[in-house]
Structure 1
Amino acid sequence: MHDSVSEIFEIAAGRYLSAVDAEPNRSNQHEIGGLPKVGFKSVLGTPPKSDKYLIRTTMAYIPDEGDDAPEIVRDTVSWYDARWRKPDRSPEYRLYYRNNPVSTRIREGDLMIIARKHDGELVILFTPPDSSASLQLESLFGLHSLEEKFARAQLPAYSLSLPLKYLLEELGVQAIDLEDAEDDLQLVLDRFPSHFPRTSEFSALARERFPADPIGNPDSTLLAWMEREEALFRAYERHVVSERLRKGFGDDGEDVDEFISFSLSVQNRRKSRVGHAFENHLSEIFHRRSLRYEKGGRTRVTENESKPDFLFPGFDEYHDPQFPSDRLFLLGAKTTCKDRWRQVLAEGKRLDRKYLATLETGISVTQTSEMISQQLELVIPGPLHESFRAEQRPVIWSLASFTDAIACAQR
């Protein structure tokens, strides 16, 4: 079970790139020095004279706001002594990486994090400064007040939240341990022997297998239900996909097009399911708290046929001009924000202030400032607030405070 980042990585360090690091016409591009000072020599060892160690490495560039996926390259890097020809000088150990689609994207000022997993593989990550990804990574690894010299990461011992696990998984680092759900896998197979269940059925099963306190502690309950469902889904998915792979594709078992189609369906199911699960568990919490609400649908719309995720207390009240606007709440629900948060702004013209529930951690100051200027307020489970800067936290609602406000308005 991966409860903390220290269970995945044994050492990590971070810094911001200088021009020498990032610009092609400068001297040391593709070389990373300074790692022995932050403890990496103790885990990477001493390379032989006139030779080098090759180390399996995943490199990734995580772009700024937007829906672009990270650029990921799997390769090897070289760990060597740059002064092996100078026996009169002390060794200078460096990592060398080859030119690749990640290295061509890095720029001066970008955040770089290098980490070694317990299995010996290195992970080298780059992202623009002051981006949401940079805040997420600094929080994940326990890095603070970085400059152009390496600082060793603290590798926090607190539990990894599901959003941070999603981030690591997106970067090719296994962070969701399927053993978490192995005890329940047979139950899932017995209940759904021949097909993937609907997301609502999976969500209900996750709540059944993980009783929590949606009234007294809705924030931790939401995260626990999401985590449980993800583990159940991944275990079931692995079983179903393994069975399909054994059967092969097409008449001869080697139909490439059929395999690609199957692979895309697996990926699309993963992406779409998480958002539905998030809404399902929010709905259950609202129901348990006896809050009156409706979800947007074919006949439940606001202006321009918009279908808000949640409208409190409902659409009849929204369209009734006599109903007080200050007792109406419009809530969007998106597991990640990126640029999609702007969709919520147009979903209810009657309301100046709107809300967005999300599991996104470490949203950049620039983005939260723009949200505030557009009168969009974030609703984020309390345990995730630590990933935000101190000046951001006062304007972020917890799920408990948000549901309390609605309950008060509906009395």
Structure 2
Amino acid sequence: MDARLAARFAGVIGKRLSSVECYGEGTSNQGEIGVGAQAPSLFGTPSQIERYGCDYLYLSDTQQIEERDLWITYQDSRRNDPTRGPEWRMTYPRASVVMREARSGDLIWVARDARDRGQVLVVVAEAGSEFAGRLDRILGLEMRLDATVVGRKRQRFADVDLRSTGAASLDADDADLMAILGVEVRTPNESKLDLLLSELAGVPLAGGWPSTRDFSAACRRVAALEDPLSDVDQTMAVWFALTNELFFLYEKYKIQPELDAAFANRSTIDVDAFFRVANSLRGRRSSRAGNTFEWHLADLVSRLGIRGHMKRTLPDGTAPDFIFPSADLYLDPTFQAELLTVLAAKTTLKERWQQVVNEGKRHAITYLATMDRGLNASTLATMRLSGVIPVTAKAFIESDYSAMSNQFMTFADFFEGVQGRQLGAVDWGISLNDLPLLCP
């Protein structure tokens, strides 16, 4: 899926807020944002104060605040001093609930409307939130990867190049975020929905939906990669992106009758029914994303001839997603710990990566496969200190984490390491025929 950002916005600039720009922190009564040298390319160099209509949006993991039909002004604060160069600032209404909620370190974007040049959208995302990571990754500024502590000093805005952003590879939650911003999302693979429905014909349904195992297998068949093992990083990226898009399309196909039955032709909306349907959809989407990712990994593991157990509960109550070369050898105190590999799999992390720290502690390192493209510098540093190494697609490392590529392992490097340790187990005297082969 891809978002048509340039059709929605004439331009976007973004940065981290400092304390003097956050009226709600009480360090300044001005209600001003320093917009720096990037603003004139978007708003020009007027000699007087210019006023724009403005909508404000605040996003965090716990709340969403939207304010419409407010204002924002743009001006050179030194316009009356001919001895000094321009200093461009924007002033927001101090009564704005969004700007009162904003805090130092939060990410802010100022976007000028492409359809109405007199209209501006200001988006503030709480530092470290999932929304901040997603929007920062989509817009391509990589502010989340900067571990610099922001104090009172104003930061400079950076200009978003709407022609080269991360908006060309969206998942379903990204699409929801774009909808909040009023950005149209396109699904180039919409024609493949019929292929998916054909692949799912005859598949057992539970509650009207196929299992994630069957759905992921159907998506891999629709992808029809000639040789999935020729580039495992590319394979994972393709399977993951196509699965996201196909589920987005399949979800709409499946839930339209459900929504029609619940809400169509009703004089009033049953609020309880609305939230019941919404919560059901969100829960299903979250579960689907994680489980299909695990089945894609299991398929590659099987194709590579790697032995191991999936979801085997250990005596300590933990159940790592994958243990290589087997859970039985993991429990054998005489087997060399250096030949074991524990892999967890989570499409998105937030704070949930900490759940894997205590899994598979016979080995000092836990590998964590993820497709999360919004991790920040602080999270990556803490993961490293906790002995957790993130594994992701090479293309994601190059496009989203180029400044911190040494913090990641590619799928190719990870699988090569597992295969090497498996050979070590054979040298140790273990027969491959005695080890479990995953069959996704």
Give the TM interval when normalised to the shorter protein: 0.7 to 0.9
Corresponding residue to 1:363 among 367, 375, 378: 375
Q: Determine if contact 1:308/1:347 at 8 Å carries over to the other structure.
A: yes
Alignment deviations for residues 197-234 of structure 1 (CA, whole Å, 9 cap, x no partner): 22222211211111234312111211211111111111
Q: Give the distance between the partners of 1:19 and 1:367, measured in 2 at CA.
A: 23
Q: Give the distance between the partners of 1:168 and 1:182, measured in 2 at CA.
A: 15
Corresponding residue to 1:262 among 254, 277, 287: 277
Give the alignment's TM-score, normalised by structure 1.
0.80
Q: Secondary structure at the match of 2:309?
A: coil
Q: Determine if contact 1:332/1:357 at 8 Å carries over to the other structure.
A: yes
Match of 2:161 in 1: 154
Q: How does 1:175-194 map to 2 (within 5 A)?
A: 177=185, 179-189=187-197, 191=200
Q: Give the distance between the partners of 2:289 and 2:323, measured in 1 at CA.
A: 21
Q: How does 1:7-406 map to 2 (within 5 A)?
A: 9-24=9-24, 25=26, 26-29=28-31, 37-41=39-43, 53-55=52-54, 57=55, 59-62=57-60, 68-69=61-62, 71-73=64-66, 75-79=68-72, 94=90, 96=92, 99=95, 101-116=97-112, 118=114, 123-127=121-125, 137-143=135-141, 148-155=155-162, 157=164, 160=167, 162=169, 166-167=173-174, 169-170=176-177, 172-173=180-181, 177=185, 179-189=187-197, 191=200, 195-212=208-225, 213-248=227-262, 255-296=270-311, 300-386=312-398, 387-388=400-401, 390=403, 392-406=404-418
Query: For this pair of structures, how many residues does the alignment match?
Result: 395
Q: Give the distance between the partners of 2:139 and 2:387, measured in 1 at CA.
A: 32
Q: Give the distance between the partners of 1:74 and 1:229, measured in 2 at CA.
A: 35
Q: Using the TM superposition, name which of 126-135 and 6-15 deviates more.
A: 126-135
Deviation at 1:282, TM superposition (A): 1.1
What one-letter code is carried by the residue in structure 1 that aligns with 2:30? N
Deviation at 1:181, TM superposition (A): 3.4
Q: Give the distance between the partners of 1:125 and 1:268, measured in 2 at CA.
A: 26
Q: Give the distance between the partners of 1:182 and 1:359, measured in 2 at CA.
A: 22
Mark the CA change 1:225 to 1:77 in structure 2 (over 3 Å): closer, same or farther: farther
What one-letter code is carried by the residue in structure 1 that aligns with 2:414? F
Deviation at 1:302, TM superposition (A): 2.0
Name the Cα RMSD after superposition.
4.0
Deviation at 1:141, TM superposition (A): 2.9
Give the alignment's TM-score, normalised by structure 2.
0.75
Alignment deviations for residues 60-103 of structure 1 (CA, whole Å, 9 cap, x no partner): 334xxxxx3453425234255779xx9xx99x995645745532
Runs (5+) with no aligned partner, structure 1? 63-67
Deviation at 1:306, TM superposition (A): 1.0
Alignment deviations for residues 115-147 of structure 1 (CA, whole Å, 9 cap, x no partner): 346566854333466888767655543437996
Deviation at 1:109, TM superposition (A): 4.0
What one-letter code is carried by the residue in structure 2 that aligns with 1:313? P
Q: Give the distance between the partners of 1:17 and 1:200, measured in 2 at CA.
A: 44
Q: Give the distance between the partners of 2:39 and 2:15, measured in 1 at CA.
A: 13
What one-letter code is carried by the residue in structure 1 that aligns with 2:159? R
Runs (5+) with no aligned partner, structure 2? 147-153, 424-440
Alignment deviations for residues 152-183 of structure 1 (CA, whole Å, 9 cap, x no partner): 22346265475677446346247794533321
What one-letter code is carried by the residue in structure 2 that aligns with 1:141? L
Q: Determine if contact 1:303/1:348 at 8 Å carries over to the other structure.
A: no
Q: Secondary structure at the match of 1:335?
A: coil
What one-letter code is carried by the residue in structure 2 that aligns with 1:126? V
Mark the CA change 1:82 to 1:327 in structure 2 (over 3 Å): closer, same or farther: closer
Q: Determine if contact 1:178/1:231 at 8 Å carries over to the other structure.
A: no
Q: Give the distance between the partners of 2:135 and 2:413, measured in 1 at CA.
A: 27
Q: Give the distance between the partners of 2:142 and 2:129, measured in 1 at CA.
A: 15
Alignment deviations for residues 36-58 of structure 1 (CA, whole Å, 9 cap, x no partner): 8343337xx99xx9996535x36
- The percentage of counterpart residues that share the same residue type is 26
Q: Secondary structure at the match of 1:379?
A: strand
